[in-house]
Amino acid sequence: MIVKMNKYTLVLYRKAQEEFLNRLQELGVVDITTTGWEPNEAEREVLGEIEAHKAAGENFSALKKNPKYQGGEPFATGEEAYENYQRASAAIEQLGAQIAKATKEAEELAMWGTFEPEVLAKLEAEGIVLHFYSCYSNEYAQGIASWGENYTVEPISEHNGTTYFVVVGRKGEPTPQIDAQPIKTPALNAEGKRGEIEALESRLAEWQRVMARCVASEELIEQHACGLKDALQLSQVSRSGNPEAEGHLVVLQGWAPEANSAEVDAMLEAESDVLYIKERPTMDDDTPVQLKNGWFAKPFEFIGDFYAVPKYGTMDLTKYFAPFYMLFFGFCIGDAGYGATFFLIGLFMYLKKMKGMGLISQLVMWLGAASVLFGLCVGNVYGVSLRTLGMPEWYHNAMTVINDQLFYIALGCGIVQIIFALVLNVINTTIAYGFKYSFGTLGWLIILVDCLLAFLLPMVGVEGFSFSSPLCLGILGVGAVFMLLLNNPNRNPLVNFGSGLWDTYNNLTGLLGDVLSYVRLFAISLSGGALAVVFNDLAGSLAPDVPGVRQLVMFLILAFGHGINIFMSAIGAFVHPMRLTFIEFYKNAGFEASTRLYTPFRKQKTN
């Protein structure tokens, strides 16, 4: 359900604003309207700092997973820890790049063997210059004969098909014209470069110890980030007020749940510099929304959040779509074994108390349980049909009927959900705007139910109610009056009649398309079940007839095949029922979306 809110209009002196907002932030239950707020330069810097703190937390998580990680002594404050983290992360990145570059250079220098750079300098001082080259070994073999006629060429080493050599020349002479890759005269030998690498690694180890202290200060850094968020929120709220009386007064708009209104009222009554007006929100207000559902519907808020929260003053549809979503998920999976897998995964997540996964683990368990029940109804367990395993006759017959009528069951689910959505639409419109505004939808609902009963009752042997019976025609007439003449109480009935005719065409085609959309449940269930059977057949036919080996190969094929099928089925079973919920169900239920969640102005807390 949607939590009831109270609207507060606050008028206060500009000079008392900061102190009052600090106390309001400590109270932590009032949502202040900040529509149209744009961050200034200082606030953008704070936003960047908050994102950097978040990135630091992600980096710490990765570092702690490293088996070589060793903790350090935490810093005194979060600010000190964060400043050291910034310096350490920049230094570690820079030193890592330098070490990688130096390592590559050391590998290249190793090709020239052991030499002293000072000797090269002495030779050059005496007029002897060594020119360094490299080329493919086959090119060297072809060119050495001609090069040796004009120059003194000395090979140094050969590695991976490349020959490294030097050409001896005299100072002042032109550079030798050799068809090879010239290389800059090394300033260090490989051993010297390795010494340079050791110095860099020593500096890197020092900064890694600083980083270990930062990781140990993770909680302090989180607290520092919360302080930045508090300051940003305070700045945002301070700049969101409307100035009045030449800037001497500020007008703020706030919202608080009815359950917290007493403590808000008590605080405001104690404020001598604040005048407030408390009132009920109207449908025209941009009221923030807070959902409060029970143990069953609460996990399904995760599904609803993919679309939007309902508008304040309307109906929260979470608990109404939840059973249908479970049914449709189980329909798409269509296998009790797969459902048991989902249930066990959800149970594992729940028992492990994985961070941020509490409601999701419960949702997975609900969906897994629904898949088990539906899988038992159709008689499938990991692609094995229970109808072939000697089940009781009544169960065997029930499974046969369900499988034979699966297509029509999918359509029936769609009809039931759409009619239920129209009922909710009538209730929702009545709550939000008044009963008379629901007459158009009520007329369509009456006609649909009347036609459905006239079609089904004769099929089950009930006489006296058909499309030609007076009672059926009379109910159709009542529905037509509501639909064509009373669809909008603010318009002339003749105008309503014209718009009603137009709506008739749109609704007929729309409802037909909505019902046919539910065929996807049948198609997805059929495809997943067929793939499960295929993998079972492959395991039986491809495994060699060798004791021990056969069982191992069958297990690998089954694990791989059913693993892929479970993954693909889960995607389809998650997305397509969601599509039916957000398009077919929400549309017919008259869902109105809100983009504003209840976000109280409060001090931030670490996770």
Model confidence pLDDT, tens digit, residues 276-306: 888 898 888 888 899 998 889 999 999 988 8
Query: Does 331 share its domain with 416?
Result: yes
Where residue 363 falls among pLDDT bands split at 50, 70, 90? very high
Q: How many domains does one find in the chain? A: 4
Range of the domain at 267: 1-35+240-290
In a domain, residue 441? The reply is: no
Query: Does 153 share its domain with 169?
Result: yes
Per-residue pLDDT of 57-88, as tens digits, reads 888 888 888 777 777 888 888 888 888 888 98
In a domain, residue 494? The reply is: no
Where residue 29 falls among pLDDT bands split at 50, 70, 90? confident
Least confident of 65-79, 306-320, 361-375: 65-79
Mean pLDDT for the stretch of residues 570-589: 90
pLDDT of 500 > 70? The answer is: no
**In this predicted structure, what is the pLDDT of residue 239?**
79
In a domain, residue 453? The reply is: no
Sign of the CA dihedral with 303 first, then 306, 309, and 314 last:
negative
Where residue 370 falls among pLDDT bands split at 50, 70, 90? very high
Final residue of a domain: which of 185, 204, 224?
185
Where residue 590 falls among pLDDT bands split at 50, 70, 90? confident
Per-residue pLDDT of 34-53, as tens digits, reads 877 777 888 888 888 888 88
Query: Does 417 share its domain with 539?
Result: yes
Query: Does 279 share its domain with 143?
Result: no
**In this predicted structure, what is the pLDDT of residue 368?**
92
Sign of the CA dihedral with 585 first, then 589, 595, and 597 last:
negative
- Count CB atoms within 10 A of the CB of residue 64: 11
Query: Does 525 share its domain with 583?
Result: yes
Query: Does 408 share its domain with 319?
Result: yes
In a domain, residue 153? The reply is: yes
Query: Does 419 share its domain with 541?
Result: yes
Query: Does 261 share its domain with 367?
Result: no
Secondary structure (DSSP) of 477-493: HHHHHHHHHSS-TTS-H
Query: Does 232 share its domain with 255?
Result: no
Phi first, then psi: give them for residue 59, nearest 5 degrees: -65, -40
Q: How far apart are CA 311 and CA 372, in angstroms?
A: 35
In a domain, residue 448? The reply is: no
The enclosing domain of 269 has a CATH number of 3.30.70.120
pTM value is: 0.75
In 3D space, the residue among 285, 296, 373 whose CA is nearest the CA of residue 336 turns out to be 373
In a domain, residue 606? The reply is: no
Query: Does 231 share its domain with 247?
Result: no
In a domain, residue 447? The reply is: no
Q: How far apart are CA 22 and CA 19, in angstroms?
A: 5
DSSP E strand boundaries for 14-61: 31-32
Least confident of 2-6, 309-313, 412-416, 540-544: 540-544
Q: How far apart are CA 536 and CA 576, in angstroms?
A: 26
Query: Does 522 share its domain with 565?
Result: yes
Decide: 511 and 584 in contact? Cβ < 8 Å.
no
In a domain, residue 596? The reply is: no
pLDDT averaged over the chain? 85
Query: Does 123 share its domain with 92?
Result: no
